Amino acid sequence: MVLFITNFAIAQGPDSIYKVPNNPLIAQLIRLPELNASIILSQETKIIPLQLTILATNAQQILKQGADFYVLINQTGFVYKLNSYDSATCVFKRIDHTVNLNYNIDAKNFIYQNQLYSYGGYGFWKTNGHLRKFNFEDSEWDIIPLNDEIMLSSYVWYSEPEGRVYVPFQQIVNAGIKGSENIKGVRLFDSYYLDLNQKKWVKVGQLENDVQKLVQDNVNVGFLNLNEGLLHLIHDEAYLFDFVHNKVFKSKNADLNQFLIRRSEFTNMFVYDNFIYSYSVGSKTFNKYPFKLSDLELLRTSIWGNEHQLYYSILIIIICVIVALTIIWLFNRSVKRKLEVAQLTILKTKSINQAFTSIEVALIEILLKATLKNETVEIFQINHVLGIKDKNLGLQKKVRSDVINAINDKYEFITQSKEVLIGSRRKEDDKRFFEYFITATEVKSIQRILENN
């Protein structure tokens, strides 16, 4: 019977109103009317006495904005508000009617524009990316529809001045899908922020590789929210993630590192007026440590990079290659033209009066004229230009061959290329005979040479 009564007492729910001693922790927070802070309480400093309830093991969190002082019971939607106080006693009254529990484990709770919000969490074997807002009229939590569901990770930071919640990467847990990785959590390294005014997630890039390595094996779970960003210990060194400016800082102050290492869970801590406040349970006093950005050094990496950066880099490389090839082509073309002029000059100084003789020029021109009309020149036309139409066939063939070869040799010498100026092919209707033309790629080149000839 005694065992039954004890179990029943432990299993009972929490009360609606609690009168608790006004201890130095609460008194100090009340004395800072401009303090806006989120404070995770240690086991020894829990304010709402839930020892004999089903919520005895749940962590507690203080949310304070100006005169508003709330205590949230983690893994629930329970909210207690400081209703009244004097020098000896504080009265906390529960303001919600929450029934469902354990759907929002490790959720990010914050105050924005005097409203209570709760984002994300884990429960019922999976994480969620829901945004919930406390409805003071109905004393219930309402779901806020968003454009996407982005799962939070421990590296989540809320900026009240910007009205944004930053999520540099997601930690997705879904034990309903086979695979140990789904139980441990799959990380997606796309970076987002939630615009609380627009109720919209905005993708800003992808977590940099250097930052991925930093957070990969980190076991510290304590975080401290600053106006400048998220302060965190990684391998016993303090890092500041400045999400607004997309920068990462590392402490170069050994004393600051030691101060945080001794408080690695970051409980009973907040930042106010450029000082880190840490409540000591033993002495019931606050230790203060000055926080200065000058104690930190800026690392070369950013938090996230543009997800299209690789594509932009490849595009820039391609453009540079195209520009380089164009310059080389233009340079070679210029050199080729100068070389042609030089070769013409050399030819003209030889025994031949011109680069091409008048007969050769006449043959080139008739071939060029036909080529420009997509036509070819037949043997009898060439014989007529060369003045051998009345000669015997053997002589005609020899003269044609000698003249065409001479033209091609001179052209090759002038242009310093292996391209043939005058080409030939067998006629379609009578394969015994050839037809002649100017090679298409050399049309502009021979036109230019004839102008200078």
Residue carrying structure tokens 């006449």: 362
Cα dihedral sign, 328-334-338-343: positive
Strand partners for 63: 38, 70
Cα dihedral sign, 26-27-28-33: positive
In angstroms, rounded to a whole number, what is the distance separating the alpha carbons of residues 419 and 277?
84
Read out DSSP for 363-428?
HHHHHHHHHHTT--EEHHHHHHHHT-TTS-HHHHHHHHHHHHHHHHHHHHHHHTS---SEEEEE-S
pTM of the shown model? 0.67
In angstroms, rounded to a whole number, what is the distance separating the alpha carbons of residues 341 and 334?
11
Nearest of 301, 303, 306, 302 to residue 205 by alpha carbon: 306
List, as own/partner pairs, every contact residues 395-400 make where C-beta atoms lie below 8 angstroms and the sequence separation is at least 24, other chains included: none
In angstroms, rounded to a whole number, what is the distance separating the alpha carbons of residues 426 and 422?
14
pLDDT, position 428: 84
Show the domains of the chain with their CATH numbers.
Answer: 2-310 (2.120.10), 312-452 (1.10.10)
In angstroms, rounded to a whole number, what is the distance separating the alpha carbons of residues 369 and 367?
5
| Kind of pairing between the strands at 89-94 and 108-112 | unpaired
Q: What is the pLDDT along the chain (453 residues), one digit of tens a residue?
A: 344 334 444 456 688 999 999 999 999 999 998 899 999 999 999 999 999 889 999 999 999 998 999 999 999 999 999 999 999 999 999 999 988 888 899 999 999 999 999 999 999 999 999 999 999 999 999 999 999 999 998 899 999 999 999 999 999 998 888 888 888 888 999 999 999 999 999 999 999 999 999 988 776 778 999 999 999 999 889 999 999 999 999 999 999 999 999 998 999 999 999 999 999 999 999 999 999 999 999 999 999 997 555 556 677 788 888 888 888 877 777 666 666 665 555 554 443 345 788 888 888 988 989 889 998 888 888 888 888 888 888 888 888 889 889 888 888 888 887 888 898 888 888 888 888 999 988 888 888 888 876
pLDDT, position 9: 43
- The alpha carbon of 123 is separated from its chain's Cα centroid by a whole number of angstroms, namely 30
Contact 388, 402 (CB under 8 A): no
Q: What is the DSSP letter of 13?
A: P
- What residue type is 178 in one-letter code? K
In angstroms, rounded to a whole number, what is the distance separating the alpha carbons of residues 405 and 361?
14
3 state DSSP class of 432: coil
Burial of 449 (C-beta count, 10 Å sphere; 0-12/13-18/19+)? buried
pLDDT, position 416: 80
What tokens appear for 205 in the block?
Answer: 């890039």
Q: Which residues have CB under 8 Å from 59's CB, separation 6+?
A: 40, 41, 74, 75
What's the residue count for the chain? 453
